[in-house]
Structure 1
Amino acid sequence: MSNINILHMNQGVGGKSYAKNSSIQMSMMSKTLTIVKDTITDMFTNHFTPFEILETFKIADVGCASGPNTLLFVSEVIDTVYNLSNQNQNKSLEISIVLNDLHKNDFNNIFSALPSFYNRLQERHGYEFSQKCFISGVAASFYERLLPCKSVHFVHSSNSLHWLSQVPNNLKNKGHIYMAKDCLPNVFEAYKNQFYKDFSSFINKRSHEILPSGRMVLTFMGRSIPEPSSNDCCCLWELLAQSLLDMVSQQGLIQKEVVDSFNLPLYTPYTDEVKEIIMEEKSFDLEKMEIFKYNWDQDDNNDKKKSGEILANCIRAAIEPMLRTHFGELFLNNVFKRYTERIADHLKIEKTKFINFTICLRKK
């Protein structure tokens, strides 16, 4: 997968890099990393095995993808643990980091970057410490078991859990590729049920793998109000659906039946839905839920066309492989050109935001 983007396609299915990290991406990363580092620090300060007797700190980054930000997260966590080990006079502490994504993720890209990663680590913290950091990969769906029972202290996931394990079964959603304001009620219910099933499975599987008092920090897209067809979760995808339908009307470049048969395996939950699933599963306490809002409009000069281009490129970087598989590649440039225009037109009328949740869970 290329650079992590706004959406971070489910477990590494993302595509080419059409845009550098945007201000939204950098802001998301900064806020999430702050929470991750604060959580790890708090684990050893208040709720965990005394740091001075801990032999190995074990971490899993699930849905890691394979872009540069994968090892950026690893680097930040290692720096945090290094500082804690020095403060607590634990010079022998080892760090084990497991990177997880689907089999099709480009783990070779990650592993080929490790020699230079370890060289930089040695420059920052010395040879001896660099030899105590172990990075490995597990290729599997994070909706299934990944690790042995009670084998990990800390689990992280960034911008993956809004992607479902599959499109809901028997979904009849002609003219749309996701939930939209004029969808039938059963479409909303089908998406919600699939998310409940998947997120419950994710939490349950991690509950077996995490040690008591271990933590998870999870970041994913959501929505700010109960209404599932609100603009902050549906508008982005409805504009893409309309752009695909534009290709149908333009000399039949795409067949309408092909558009009708395509739906995104995605769900952006409301806060209460997330809390309900955690409470019903009963393995974790919800310690923190942060809600972050980001404007679609990212151009400093208020250029709607430029903002449309930035956002369309970010979405393309996330989902092009899925579109290419279903529609073919021939007309995608035309689709995203029209998508850019539709986003720009939308921003001229209405400001719209991305909603991201970061939650911190503690294993009971």
Structure 2
Amino acid sequence: MDMVKNFHMAQGLGETSYAHNSRLQKEVIESVMDMTLSSAMEACADVETVSIADLGCSSGRNTLSVVENVIRTVCERRRETTRQLPEFMVFLNDLPSNDFNALFSLVPEFVQKVKAEHDDGGEILVSVAGVPGSFYGRLFPSSSLHFITSFTSLHWLSQVPAGLLNKGESINKGNIYMSPASPPSVATRYVKQFQEDFSQFLRSRSQELVVGGRIVFSMLGRRNHDSHEKINECPFFETLGKSLSILISQKMVAEEKVDSFNLPYYAPSTQELEDQVYREGSFTIDSMKQDYHDWTIKYTPKMLSNFCIAATKSLICHHFGEEIIEPLFETHTQLLCEKLMAGEDIGWSKIIVVLCKSVAR
């Protein structure tokens, strides 16, 4: 559990890693912006004080760009009906280790920009607050939110599934995540952890949203529903595992140390998400779509490896020590180069979901 907490300190990644993480997050946000804005209009059409929450906000400008676009869209719709502009309450959530000071330093400029664009001689009020804590639990008062977003976060589990070590021996030996080579017992544990986490996420949001409120989220997913074949189609973690194996052969890291390392990562299928939503019972699915992105079109192997550093550095440093980072990701880059030269697929599958709270809790 300590390892996972350290992972979620993620944004202590250093400037280079953060820049790559921020760039990738920005592209994801831009790709789902139309769905986000249309959902915001539905959720906030007749609300006098609009409450918005972004979960897993990190500490860069991306989260504020989403909020800015939501505010612009809501205000433009109100002008069309000659109605008074609403007030806005914005909640930015991440774990307590997030650099909220860096985020808050961007808020005055953001508020001034919003006021300059939308203040028609009156006062448009935009209040911003930070809410530290895990989104796998309650964060806000009951029926207090109208619109929630979360981007590129929900594929990270709250913890590494329990039971991956049996009497000190790894039952996932040779793998660092739930891969196609993992035993069925490993897949069972990852599926169970995902179900527990995602159901808790839905229950918490159901209590916090008003009826008619909406959630828009995106996460990595897989195209095959079978929970033990073609798992995690994004190849970064498979390549990362092979890179660690190479370091074992070079006597740079102990095999036992690698065997005890597992990522708290699970990419569900759309069917799994649907099942969990219907099982929880508070939401209808307004929209769900899945896209596949071939990263070789836009990114070099080095850039792709930097994305992997941004996502995993804190976990790796906590488990192996920081000195492993340079040789590990040099090897990782080389293996990605070899994949590219061999014409292998390097990409990821992204699932975008819009939920509407339809039942009072």
TM-score normalised to structure 1 length: 0.88
Distance in 2 (CA, whole Å) between partners of 1:130 and 1:113 is 21
Q: Which amino acid aligns with 1:237?
A: F
> Residues 292 and 168 (structure 1 numbering): CA distance in 2 closer, same or farther, change over 3 Å?
same
> Residues 111 and 271 (structure 1 numbering): CA distance in 2 closer, same or farther, change over 3 Å?
same
Distance in 2 (CA, whole Å) between partners of 1:129 and 1:135 is 19
Is the 8 Å Cα contact of residues 312 and 340 (structure 1) preserved in structure 2? yes
Is the 8 Å Cα contact of residues 221 and 270 (structure 2) preserved in structure 1? yes
Q: Which position in structure 1 is the counterpart of 2:43?
A: 43
Distance in 1 (CA, whole Å) between partners of 2:212 and 2:22 is 35
Deviation at 1:30, TM superposition (A): 1.7
Deviations 1:12-71 (A, max 9, x none): 6242333547986554222211111011223356xxxxx2xx320111111111122121
Are 1:347 and 2:346 matched, yes or no? no
Q: Which amino acid aligns with 1:332?
A: I
Is the 8 Å Cα contact of residues 56 and 93 (structure 1) preserved in structure 2? yes
Is the 8 Å Cα contact of residues 234 and 348 (structure 2) preserved in structure 1? no
Are 1:78 and 2:77 matched, yes or no? no
> Residues 310 and 22 (structure 1 numbering): CA distance in 2 closer, same or farther, change over 3 Å?
farther
Is the 8 Å Cα contact of residues 291 and 356 (structure 1) preserved in structure 2? yes
Distance in 2 (CA, whole Å) between partners of 1:342 and 1:174 is 21
Counting only pairs closer than 5 Å after superposition, residues 175-190 of structure 1 correspond to structure 2 as: 175-190=174-189
Q: Unaligned regions of 5+ residues in structure 1, if any?
A: 1-8, 46-50, 300-305
Is the 8 Å Cα contact of residues 91 and 131 (structure 2) preserved in structure 1? yes
Are 1:13 and 2:42 matched, yes or no? no
> Residues 338 and 130 (structure 1 numbering): CA distance in 2 closer, same or farther, change over 3 Å?
farther
Distance in 1 (CA, whole Å) between partners of 2:127 and 2:309 is 34
Q: Which position in structure 2 is the counterpart of 1:144?
A: 137
TM-score normalised to structure 2 length: 0.89
Q: Unaligned regions of 5+ residues in structure 2, if any?
A: 1-5, 165-170
Are 1:56 and 2:27 matched, yes or no? no
Q: Which amino acid aligns with 1:192?
A: V
> Residues 167 and 87 (structure 1 numbering): CA distance in 2 closer, same or farther, change over 3 Å?
same
Distance in 2 (CA, whole Å) between partners of 1:258 and 1:11 is 21
Q: Which position in structure 1 is the counterpart of 2:167?
A: none
Distance in 2 (CA, whole Å) between partners of 1:129 and 1:239 is 56
Q: Secondary structure at 1:233's aligned position in 2?
A: coil
Moved more, 73-82 or 17-26: 17-26
Q: Which amino acid aligns with 1:322?
A: L
> Residues 28 and 277 (structure 1 numbering): CA distance in 2 closer, same or farther, change over 3 Å?
same
Deviations 1:211-267 (A, max 9, x none): 0111111111100112344165363211101111211211x2111111111110010
Q: Which position in structure 1 is the counterpart of 2:112?
A: 119
> Residues 214 and 10 (structure 1 numbering): CA distance in 2 closer, same or farther, change over 3 Å?
farther
Q: Secondary structure at 2:173's aligned position in 1?
A: coil
Q: Which position in structure 1 is the counterpart of 2:168?
A: none
Deviation at 1:277, TM superposition (A): 0.5
Counting only pairs closer than 5 Å after superposition, residues 210-289 of structure 1 correspond to structure 2 as: 210-227=209-226, 228-230=228-230, 232-233=232-233, 235-250=235-250, 252-289=251-288
Is the 8 Å Cα contact of residues 248 and 256 (structure 1) preserved in structure 2? yes
Q: Which position in structure 1 is the counterpart of 2:306?
A: 313
Misfit runs of 4+, over 4 Å: 9-12, 19-27, 127-131
Q: Which amino acid aligns with 1:270?
A: S
Is the 8 Å Cα contact of residues 142 and 202 (structure 1) preserved in structure 2? yes
> Residues 157 and 337 (structure 1 numbering): CA distance in 2 closer, same or farther, change over 3 Å?
same
Aligned partner (choices 342, 359, 363) of residue 353 of structure 2:
359
Is the 8 Å Cα contact of residues 203 and 280 (structure 2) preserved in structure 1? yes
Deviation at 1:291, TM superposition (A): 0.7
Aligned residues: CA RMSD: 2.2
Deviations 1:94-136 (A, max 9, x none): 0111111111111111111112222322332238667501111
Is the 8 Å Cα contact of residues 214 and 362 (structure 1) preserved in structure 2? yes
Aligned residues: 342
Deviation at 1:90, TM superposition (A): 2.8
Is the 8 Å Cα contact of residues 308 and 344 (structure 1) preserved in structure 2? yes
